[in-house]
Structure formats: structure tokens, C-alpha cells
Amino acid sequence: MARRTYLSGVALSATVITLVWIILTYGGVVQPLFLPSPSGVVRSAITLLRDGSLIVNAQASLIVIVSGWALAAVAAVPLGILMGTLKFVEALVEPIVDFVRYLPVSAMIPLLILYIGIGTAEKVAVIFIGTFFQLVLLIADVSANVSKDLLDSAYTLGAKRRTVFSRVLVPATLPGVVDNLRITMGWAWTYLIVAELVSADRGLGYLILDSMRGLYTDRIFVSLFVIGLLGLLFDMIFKWLHRRLLPWSPKI
């Protein structure tokens, strides 16, 4: 019953949005320059698929986002866990991280272009900086919030510090880690598009900017759809992984 209610809600909102879109465009209320019609968007999607530019640009964006985010995750997860566990590491890392994370990464793009150029490496760097500092703090929070009684009960079962760390603390952080990886992946899309809008020769952000220059509003809409779909796809992959890899997690 609950699921049916949910699905009918989804169907209702989708129908309303589509109806409004149809009325506004085919009814001639809004000019195609500002809001293209559904059929216009589909046509331009087919064109972009045929000439390959949609695939090329989506692929370029995906490579950048996955590598930047993966680098950040590999560095931030261990550091965050240590930071939440050891006071010394916390003192070492926290002041720097706290400072940097309030600098919007978009403010650093000009500097990064100066240092690295406008290629793939610069975009990867933008995503790395944008997600790494946030992720370290989120993971540190997860590991600091592992139940003290859980750790203590391991000690009373005869575990020593090292064992408690590897066999209790680390597994206890996993659901929180996966959750935060999913959330930061969402943010990474924002940083990527900003970086591509500033300077790029490929990518979905570049496709949007290029379409705007030629007043191809329908192409802008195609790009937006693709970004939304990819975001949704990643979210679903993470939730699926959470269920598959951590079937014991209380969060699912």
C-alpha cells in the first residue's frame, strides 16, 4: 500500500510537469528560444546522439568526475577515520581542513588553470579539492561517533587497541562511509559543471556553454536531462552497493 501511494505520487508529479510543459510550448505561451517543446528536445537529443557529441561529452565528464572523486575518497576515508580516532591526527589536520573547506572550490579554478592548465587534470583537481576536504570531516565525524560501548565491549572480550581499530572501529564506520561517498558524489557534479563552464573543450558543461553560444536551447535541455539521469544512476548504484555489500547495516 505504502509503495503504491509512493508510485502514484511519482506518476502524478511527472504528469503535471509534462502537461505544464506541453501547454507552455505547444500553446505558444513561451517562445522556443526560452523553452523548447518536448518534441524539439527529443529531436535534438537524437541529433546529438547521431553526431556522437553527446556520448563524447558525457564520457569526458564521467572520466573526470569518477577519477577526481575516487582519488578524494581513497585519501579522505583513511585520513578521516584516523582523524576521528586519534586526537593527534585531529589536531594535525582539522585546522587546515576547516579553513580550506570554507573556500569555495570555484574560487580556486583560476589558480588551478594557472598551475595545471585547462585540460582533464585541472578538472580532476577541482573535483578532488571540492570533495576531499568535505569528505575528511564527514568521515571523521562518522568514526568519532562509533558507539563507545561497542569499542569497550571488544576490549572486555580480550581485544587490544590495534584489533579494536581494525576489527571493530573500521567495520562500524562502513555504513556511514558509503552514505557520505554517495552524498559527495552528488556535490562532485556541481563542481564539475562549474569547472567545465569556466574553461573546457569537452564535457557536458562545455556542451551547455557551446549550445548557449549558438542559442540551441533544446541542446541545453538535453544536457541537463543527461546530467540529471547520470546523477540518479549514481545514486541508485550506491544504494544498491550499500544493500549488497552491507546487508547488516541498520540503515537499510
Q: Which of residues 118-177 bind another protein (CB under 8 A)?
A: 147, 149-150, 152-159, 163, 168, 171-172, 174
Q: How many CB atoms neighbour CB 241 within 10 A?
A: 13
**Nearest residue (CB) to another protein, 155 versus 225:** 155
CB 141, min distance to another protein, A = 18
Residue 252 and residue 241: Cα distance in Å, rounded?
11
Residue 231 and residue 237: Cα distance in Å, rounded?
10
CB 163, min distance to another protein, A = 7
**Residue 5 binds another protein, judged by CB under 8 A:** no
**Nearest residue (CB) to another protein, 27 versus 250:** 250
CB 246, min distance to another protein, A = 7
And the C-alpha cell for 64? 573526470
Residue 232 and residue 246: Cα distance in Å, rounded?
21
**Nearest residue (CB) to another protein, 163 versus 190:** 163
CB 143, min distance to another protein, A = 15
How would you classify residue 159: left for phi > 0, otherwise alpha for psi between -120 and 50, otherwise beta? beta
- With a CB cutoff of 8 Å and minimum separation 6, the contacts of 62 are 230
Residue 245 and residue 239: Cα distance in Å, rounded?
10
Q: Which of residues 172-211 bind another protein (CB under 8 A)?
A: 172, 174
Q: How are the residues of the chain apportioned to helix, strand and coil, as percentages rounded to the nearest 5?
A: 85, 0, 15
**Nearest residue (CB) to another protein, 4 versus 160:** 160
**Nearest residue (CB) to another protein, 144 versus 174:** 174
CB 156, min distance to another protein, A = 4
The contact set with another protein (CB under 8 A) reads 147, 149-150, 152-159, 163, 168, 171-172, 174, 246-250
